[in-house]
Structures are given as C-alpha cells and as structure tokens.
Structure 1
C-alpha cells in the first residue's frame, strides 16, 4: 500500500529526517466552514490578560455553531498545542455563548507546561 500520507484528517509526511504530522488542510477546512479563511493570522490565539464571564450582556450566538467550532478546534489541538489554552478557555462557555464575554470572577487559575525536542513539542499539559 505504500507509505501513509493521510490519516484521520492528519497529513503524514515521512522523510529521512523523521515523520511529520500536520492538520493544515483540516485547519483550513475549519476556517472555510466558519467563513474565516480571509481573517488575518495572529501569533497568540487569545489576547493577554483576557477576562471572561458567563453573565455577559452581549447578544447570544448560535449555540450549535459555537459547539461545532469548539469541537473542531479541540480536535485540531492534537497537532497545534499552541491553541490548547484558548480552546479550553472558550469551551467553558458552551452553555451560554455571548458575543462580548468578559471578566469571569469564578474562574480558577490555569497553568501548564510544554516540553520541546528539536522543532516540535513532545509533551504538554494544561490544568485548571
């Protein structure tokens, strides 16, 4: 059958230097599905010192779409540990998503770590 090149929405590239796994196409599909393919890329997925609260006064968003987005992004964290904190943060608000969430006073602190080997992360953890 030859070398594996695609498995469960993950692209696999096998070279002499190693095996590389990415979800570039899957990430692009998420952007297209939620009409965000032309948005500007940023270095950090969540702005620094962002405070969220559940009792926001903003307009409610479509709860089904919000849950689909969080689920898709959760699967994407398999190859993108840099978005894990942001995805976990927004997943806390799946029961009542608003446009202008801010200032979660009941939130506990979140800490985490990531261990690099060469150019990739070998282990990571995020704990509330």
Structure 2
C-alpha cells in the first residue's frame, strides 16, 4: 500500500515539474549516503580528505581525541598571531563536518571563541582536531531502520564543569535516548557498516 502511494506521488511530481527519478539518494551537499538493509549511513570522508589537503595535513599522524585533556587557552596569548583568513576558513570547514562528526562539536566551539585574533596556540588546537579527523576518516552516522535490532546510543557531554575564561560557567550538554524518541542516530565506522551491520564506536 505504501509503495503504491509513493509511486503515485512520484508520478504526480514528475508530471507537474518534469522531474526525473534518480533512484536512491547517494550524495548530497558533500555528504555521502549509503542505503543498507538495516540502516542508512552518512559520511563525509571525501570532504574531510580535501580539508586535510587544504591544511597541508593529508599525511599527518592521527590522535584519539579531538581536544587535548585539560586544554586551557586565552585570548591574551603570548604566541604570535596567525593568518586570520586561513584560520576562519579552516574552522568554518570543520563546522560543516559536525553533521557526521558530532563528537567534534565541543572542540570546534572552543576554538571558535578565538576567531577575532587567532594565535599559534589556537591554530595548534585546530590542527589537533584535524589529526583526530585523519584518524577517524571513515566514521559517519547511521540511522537504523525500524524493526532492526537495537543499538547502543552514545551520549556526549562537556566534562569541564569549572568556570571558563572570564569567569563564565561552561554549559553542559547531554544527548540521550529521551531526546530522540522516534529514531536514534549512532556513530559508526562507515567502512565496517558496508561489510555488515553498523556498529557503535
């Protein structure tokens, strides 16, 4: 019944707007989409590789976390300033990766505070994020289809509960199953998901 309704809707749209049916979505706004039996996966490996090449880090080593433990930076840095145009371009490009790399959102938000006058220590933090991207280039988001087996939902939070720069208290964010009652999103290794069912990292 649903399939017939979908076909009828597609036929009506093609008649009204002279559209063509290109099949299942595979690539959209630099996001690669793959349809599997149990889930649909979204990844940005190609975009991430171009970003690493843009930063001159296509052959860099990887790291296991997007931000150093207990990293503290300040706007009144004693290190030399860097090219602000290049800095903003890198940070802006990193923001677009949050669509499929939600675990880098805190790190990017942190370095984004120094957009006006970036210094070398701030650039080092951005490069640290890029090292993490290089090591997780095949990561992505999986949206399990209804009826398939349940997967574990991973949450992220800001564990730095102290006060930030200027005495402002940092906000703490939680992403739990209560926020996604209909369908849960999971971080997966897209290359593994292609060979079988997606798994949680």
TM-score (ref. length: structure 1):
0.84
Deviations 1:14-50 (A, max 9, x none): 0111111011111111101111111111111110111
Specify which of 15, 34, 55 is matched with residue 34 of structure 1.
55
CA RMSD of aligned residues (A): 1.9
Match of 2:110 among 73, 79, 89: 89
* Greater C-alpha radius of gyration: 2
**Counterparts of 1:9 and 1:69 in 2: how far apart (Å)?**
16
More strand by share: 1
- The equivalent of 1:105 in structure 2 is 165
Within the candidate set 45, 65, 69, 1:48 is matched to 69
Structure with the bigger percentage of helix: 2
Residue aligning to 2:186: 120
Alpha-carbon distance in structure 1 between the residues aligned to 2:91 and 2:42 = 21
Give the length in aligned residue pairs. 119
* Inter-partner Cα distance in structure 2 for 1:110 and 1:86: 13
If the length of structure 2 is used for normalisation, what is the TM-score?
Answer: 0.55
Which deviations, in whole Å up to 9, do the C-alpha atoms of 1:49-74 show, x marking residues without a partner? 11110010111111001001111000
- Structure 1, gaps ≥5 residues long: 122-128
Gaps of 5+ in 2: 1-21, 123-163, 178-182, 188-201
Deviation at 1:113, TM superposition (A): 1.9
Which residue of structure 1 aligns with residue 23 of structure 2?
A: 2
Query: After the TM superposition, which of the residue ranges 104-113 and 15-24 deviates more from structure 2?
Result: 104-113
